[in-house]
Amino acid sequence: MLTTLLFLEAAMADPPEIPRTEGLHELVLEVDGLERRYSVYLPRLPKKGTVPVVLALHYAGHGEPHYATRYLEQLVVPALKPLGAILLAPDCPGSSWVDPTSEPVVLALLDHAISSWSGDPERVVITGYSMGGMGTWHLAAGHPDRFAAAVPMAGHPGDNAARITVPVYAIHSQQDQQVPPGPTTGAIVVLRGRRIPALWRPVDGLTHHDTAAYVPALATSLPWIETMFDTTE
């Protein structure tokens, strides 16, 4: 069930309760005086203990409010629901995820999700598709203390392979003509040369816009993610 809730952390004298029911929720958080929309899929939350968190960055576009909901529904939830994690997907607040406007907002939303739903700060994965894949490379490189692993999909790595220190599971179609896979495979070579755990998961037969068809490939990252969690404990 999808619920929608306006949550203004500081501005409201008596804010509504943060949802805790399993399922997809569309929410708003005030960050530095501005309302920032995000979508979140909650697992069945335990009465005690913590749960993993997946920060999921959507592809390009700034359409309707809660633009990230469709991205969660078509790719992230079907693939990663078995992880039992908080699946957090902000609406991009800037022109892209590498926009300086976006970075502090995304990290504030991540902190909010961890504190609101007993997320484990040691078991946070960042993933993203296309523009979100580029943002995954960028944020993982810039904030290695925040992420246990990164799973970029169909996104250009830029020059981040020279800086990144967190483990990477890169997924990219061999037939992607809009964002060719060559830079991604090159980044994996660089990471391995730097002795950073890095896996290359090629996908065959998909175009850049076959986002939902990436579900099986993203699901293959689950055992690897669990292994990365084990190494952080």
The backbone region for 166, taken as left when phi is positive above 0, alpha when psi lies in -120 to 50, beta otherwise, is beta
Q: By residue range, what is the domain housing residue 69?
A: 44-232
Residue 6 covered by a domain: no
CA gyration radius, the chain: 17
Torsional sign, CA 195, 155, 77, 115 = positive
Alpha helices in 5-164 (DSSP H): 68-71, 77-80, 102-116, 131-142
Residue 7 covered by a domain: no
92-128, pLDDT tens digit by residue? 999 999 999 999 999 999 999 999 999 999 999 999 9
188-231, pLDDT tens digit by residue? 999 999 999 999 999 999 999 999 999 999 999 999 999 999 87
How many domains, in total, are found in the chain?
Answer: 1
Residue 83 covered by a domain: yes
Residue 93 three-state SS? coil
Residue 38 covered by a domain: no
Q: Considering only CA atoms, which of 184, 180, 176 is closest in space to residue 211?
A: 176
pLDDT at 6 (0 to 100): 45
Residue 27 covered by a domain: no
Residue 34 covered by a domain: no
pLDDT at 16 (0 to 100): 54
Q: In residues, how long is the chain?
A: 233
Q: How buried is 220 (Cβ within 10 angstroms: 0-12 exposed, 13-18 middle, 19+ buried)?
A: middle
| Domain CATH number, residue 215 | 3.40.50.1820
Q: Do residues 136 and 57 touch, judged by C-beta distance below 8 A?
A: yes
Structure tokens belonging to residue 218? 């993203």
pLDDT at 64 (0 to 100): 79
Alpha helices in 36-123 (DSSP H): 68-71, 77-80, 102-116
- How many C-beta neighbours within 10 Å does residue 22 have? 12
Distance (Å, whole) CA 60 – CA 119 = 27
Residue 108 covered by a domain: yes
